[in-house]
Homo-oligomer: A and B are copies of this chain.
Amino acid sequence: MTVPLVAPAAPRRAGSRSPLSLTAVRLDSGSRLGAWQQRNAAATIPHCIGQLEEAGNLDNFRRVIGESEAEWRGFWFADSDVYKTIEAVAWEIARTGTTDFDSWLDDVIGLVARVQEADGYVMTWIQGVHPEKRFAELDWTHEMYVLGHMVQAAVALARAGRTDLLDLAVRFVDLVDATFGPGADQVGYCGHPELETALVELYRHTGERRYLDLARHQLDHRGSGLLKVGSLGARYFQDHAPVRESQSAVGHAVRQLYLNAGVTDLVLEEGDQSLLEAMRAQWDSAHHRKMYLTGAFGSRHRDEAFGDDYELPSDRAYAETCATIADLHWNWRMYLAEGGARYAETIERELHNALAASLDETGTRFFYSNPLQLRPDRYSEENAPRERTPWYACACCPPNIARVFAQLSGYVASVDGDALAIHLYTGAEIDVPDALGGGTVTVRTSYPDAGRVEIAGPAGLPVALRIPTWAADATVDGAPVAPEADGYARLTLTSRPSVLDLPMTPRWTQANHRVDSVRGCVALERGPQVYCVEQVDLSEQIRLDDVVVDPTQPPLESDGGLRIAVTPRREVGPLYGAPSTAPTGEPVTVRAIPFHTWGNRASGAMRVWLPAS
C-alpha cells in the first residue's frame, strides 16, 4: 500500500475490510448526507475559521511570539480547535480539491511554525501562560491531546497533498517519543486520550513503526495509576485499570471513546486478540447498557461521564456531541476489525440523530449537550444552553462536527472481502476499487425520507447491503432479503439496477425495564430517525409534560410528516399522593418531528420519550 488512502483509518495491515478513498465516494448534494456535507463546506467550516479568530484561538498563538498583545483566551487546550478545523479543511481539500482555504492554511501553519520551539514543543497555553507546567501535570494539561489533534490534522492534510503541518507535528511527536516513549526513562500518557489513534494514523501515513510502538507503549501503560487523581477519580480519565481489564465504559465519555478508537486502531495494525476482546466488552457496555436512543453518550454533567448501567436520564443527558463523534470513529474501526452490521447501524443512528441535532439548519449554531428532553423551566447552562449557540468557551464540538461531516463519504461504503459493502444509504456515486473490478456504482434514494434504494453498477459485482435491525421486512427486487450472520445481505449486481426496499413504517420503541428514567414511556422511530414532540406544536393550554400517548394507536402519516394522538392530563395534582387516575382531557393530535430538527423554530419544551397510557 504505497499511496495512502485519504479516508481515515486505512490499516496498513492487510485485512478483509478496507475503507474507500473520500474521492471514490461522491454524495449527491440532494441527498441527506450530501446536503449536510455541502452545508459543512459552505457554512460550518467558514464559521469555525471565523470563530477561531474571534474567540482568540489564533491570538493565543500570536501572543507567544509577540505578534499579539491579547490576553490568553479560552480553555487551556484551545489549540486543538485550530487543528480540528484544519483537519476539516484538509478532508474538504482531499474530497473536492478546493483551493479556497490555501491562504488561510498558509497563515495558520506559518504561525504554528513560528510558535513551535526548537525541540518541537508547541502548545500555546503552556508556552504563553504556564511554562513551568510543561509535561509536569499530564493528568490535566492536555498536551498530548492537543498533539493528537495536530497529528490528525497533519495526516489529513498530507493525504490531501500538503505536508508542511506534518513536518511540524512529527517534530512534536518525536519530542514526546524521546520523553515518554519506549526508550525513555519515564512513562507518560495524557489525561485525555486522543494521541493514541493519531499516532496509529501517523504510522499508517509514514510507515514509521516507532509511532505505532509509541501508541502501544502508552496503551500498555494506561491504567497503571500514573495520573494524579483528582476529585473525579481515576475512572474519569480511564486510569483505574489496564485497558485489557476494563470491561465497562466509565468516566468521561469522550475520553473513554477516543481511547477505545485508539485501542482498536492498534488491534487493526497488530491483531492483538486480548485487546479486541476488551473492546468487545467495552462495546457491549457502551451500546447495550449506556447509549441513548439518539446515539448519544454520557449521562452525567458533573464529570461529563458515563453513568451506571441503564442510567440514562433524558433531561440531564449530557450527551456531548464529541462523545458521539468519538463513538462513530470507534465503530468504524470496530467494523474494519471484525465486520458486522451493528457497527454501521450505530454510526447511522448517531449521524441521523445525535450528530445531526447538534447543528441548526444553517450549520452555524451548535449544541454541546444533546438532551432528549427539555423542561419548560430549564435555564441555560454553560455547555447545556436551551438553544444552540454560535460557539462555546470550550469549543471542542463545533470543529469536531465539521471534520466528521467532511469525512462523511468515507463511511458510506467499503471493501468487504470480495464485495463492495454499502453501510449508509444515500444518493452517491461510488468508484469500485480495481481489486473488485473497477467501474462505478450509483445509488439513488431519498432515504431516510423513503426506504427505496436503487443500486446500479457493473454487472457481476458482489455487493453487501446492510440490513438494519428494524427492517426485518426488507426486500430486494421484491423478494424478502435474508441477511447473513453479519447483518449484510449479499447479492450480485446485474445489468439492471437492484432495488432494496426498507420498510419505513413508524414504530413505537420502549426502553429496557432497567432504564428507570423512561419507564412507562415510548419513543417514536421511523427508519433510522428518532422523533420528538415540541411544545411549539401544542396549544398553550396543553403542556407537553402533561400529555399521554396510546402506543396501541399507530402514528398518522400526514404531509410527509407524522402526527400522533395524545390525551392531556387536566389536573396536575400533588407532588406525592395516591396513584393517579387516567387523563381526562380531550384527545388531540400533535406533530412529531425528527429529533435532529428540534429547536429550529422556538425555544421550548421538547420530549423524545412520551408517557404511554
> Chain A: residues with CB nearer than 8 A to chain B?
231-233, 235, 248, 250, 287-289, 291, 293, 300-302, 307-311, 313-316, 373, 375-379, 381-382, 507-523, 545-546, 551, 569, 572-580, 609, 611
- How many monomers of this chain does the complex have? 2
Contact of A514 with B300 in the complex, beta carbons under 8 Å: no
Given the known inter-chain contacts A310-B375, A519-B520, please indicate yes or no for A573 contacting B289, CB distance below 8 A.
no
Given contacts A310-B545, A509-B577, A512-B576, 20 further A-B contacts (CB under 8 A): A248-B377, A250-B379, A288-B575, A302-B302, A307-B316, A308-B315, A308-B378, A315-B516, A373-B516, A508-B578, A508-B579, A510-B579, A511-B576, A512-B572, A512-B573, A513-B569, A513-B580, A516-B609, A519-B520, A519-B521
Q: Which residues of B contact A250 (CB under 8 A)?
A: 379
Q: Which residues of B contact A381 (CB under 8 A)?
A: 233
Q: Which residues of B contact A309 (CB under 8 A)?
A: 375-377
CB A40 to nearest CB in B, in angstroms, measures 29
Contact of B545 with A377 in the complex, beta carbons under 8 Å: no
Complex Cα distance, B288 from A516, in Å, reads 22
Contact of B313 with A546 in the complex, beta carbons under 8 Å: no
CB A373 to nearest CB in B, in angstroms, measures 7
Q: Which residues of B contact A517 (CB under 8 A)?
A: 313, 516-517
Q: Which residues of B contact A569 (CB under 8 A)?
A: 513
Complex Cα distance, B517 from A307, in Å, reads 15
> Which residue of B has the minimal Cβ distance to A552?
B579
CB A245 to nearest CB in B, in angstroms, measures 15
> Which residue of B has the minimal Cβ distance to A543?
B514
> Which residue of B has the minimal Cβ distance to A569?
B513
Interface of A is mostly: loop
CB A220 to nearest CB in B, in angstroms, measures 24
Q: Which residues of B contact A231 (CB under 8 A)?
A: 382
Write 25 A-B pairs (CB below 8 A) sorted by A numbering. Answer: A231-B382, A233-B382, A288-B574, A301-B302, A308-B378, A309-B375, A310-B545, A310-B575, A311-B316, A313-B517, A508-B578, A509-B576, A509-B578, A510-B577, A512-B572, A512-B573, A512-B577, A513-B546, A513-B569, A513-B580, A516-B518, A516-B521, A517-B517, A519-B519, A519-B521
Q: Which residues of B contact A522 (CB under 8 A)?
A: 579
Q: Which residues of B contact A580 (CB under 8 A)?
A: 510, 512-513
Complex Cα distance, B375 from A309, in Å, reads 8
Complex Cα distance, B489 from A85, in Å, reads 71
CB A250 to nearest CB in B, in angstroms, measures 8
Q: Which residues of B contact A301 (CB under 8 A)?
A: 300-302
Complex Cα distance, B512 from A511, in Å, reads 21
Given the known inter-chain contacts A302-B302, A375-B310, please indicate yes or no for A512 contacting B575, CB distance below 8 A.
yes
Contact of B314 with A545 in the complex, beta carbons under 8 Å: no
CB A207 to nearest CB in B, in angstroms, measures 41
Contact of A308 with B512 in the complex, beta carbons under 8 Å: no
Q: Which residues of B contact A514 (CB under 8 A)?
A: 545-546, 572
Contact of B611 with A513 in the complex, beta carbons under 8 Å: yes
Q: Which residues of B contact A551 (CB under 8 A)?
A: 579
> Which residue of B has the minimal Cβ distance to A530?
B576
Contact of A293 with B576 in the complex, beta carbons under 8 Å: yes
* Partner pick for A379 among B235, B373, B577, CB 8 A cutoff: B235
> Which residue of B has the minimal Cβ distance to A509?
B576
> Which residue of B has the minimal Cβ distance to A522?
B579
Candidate in A310, A376, A551 with the most chain B CB atoms within 10 angstroms:
A310
Contact of B575 with A291 in the complex, beta carbons under 8 Å: yes
> Which residue of B has the minimal Cβ distance to A517?
B517
> Which residue of B has the minimal Cβ distance to A349?
B576
Q: Which residues of B contact A302 (CB under 8 A)?
A: 300-302
Complex Cα distance, B521 from A611, in Å, reads 13
Q: Which residues of B contact A521 (CB under 8 A)?
A: 516, 519
> Which residue of B has the minimal Cβ distance to A299?
B316
Contact of B519 with A576 in the complex, beta carbons under 8 Å: no
Q: Which residues of B contact A316 (CB under 8 A)?
A: 300, 307, 311, 313, 316
Complex Cα distance, B575 from A569, in Å, reads 29
Q: Which residues of B contact A579 (CB under 8 A)?
A: 508, 510, 522, 551
Complex Cα distance, B544 from A513, in Å, reads 12
Complex Cα distance, B300 from A313, in Å, reads 12
Contact of A519 with B611 in the complex, beta carbons under 8 Å: yes
Q: Which residues of B contact A513 (CB under 8 A)?
A: 545-546, 569, 573, 580, 611
Complex Cα distance, B521 from A574, in Å, reads 16
Q: Which residues of B contact A235 (CB under 8 A)?
A: 379
Complex Cα distance, B237 from A122, in Å, reads 39
Complex Cα distance, B195 from A3, in Å, reads 71
Candidate in A381, A519, A576 with the most chain B CB atoms within 10 angstroms:
A576
Complex Cα distance, B572 from A309, in Å, reads 12
Q: Which residues of B contact A578 (CB under 8 A)?
A: 507-510
